[in-house]
Amino acid sequence: MKTTIEISDALLREARKLAAREGVTLRALVERGLHRVIAETKRPPFRMRDGRFGGGWLHPDVRDLSWEQIRDLSYEGRGGLSWEQLRDKTDKGSGG
């Protein structure tokens, strides 16, 4: 079936170069691209699987900490706080 489409001059130049490099017609290149776009839209959206381990959530040592405190511990030695620093910070904040 014949149809007419309007595309930018730059895109057409690039498409023609690519078709020539691959030894295919412009029509074949356009059809291949359309097939890919249509296939992508038919795929179900990506869903990340539940990666939790059975039986527990947070380790008991960090269960009562805020996410900010947990983040600080995870970067201990790389700009985060150590357990001792975190305890001191928490004690000062609670008036202890």
Mean pLDDT of 10-37: 96
> According to the per-residue pLDDT averaged within each range, which of 12-21, 52-61, 76-85, 86-95 is highest?
12-21
pTM, rounded to two decimals: 0.45
Let me know: does 29 contact 18? Beta carbons within 8 Å.
yes
Asked if the model's pLDDT at residue 96 lies above 60, the reply is no
Angle at CA 71, nearest 5°, toward 87 and 57? 95
User: Is 27 strand, coil or helix?
Assistant: helix
pLDDT tens-digit readout, 62-94: 878 888 888 888 888 887 778 788 778 777 766
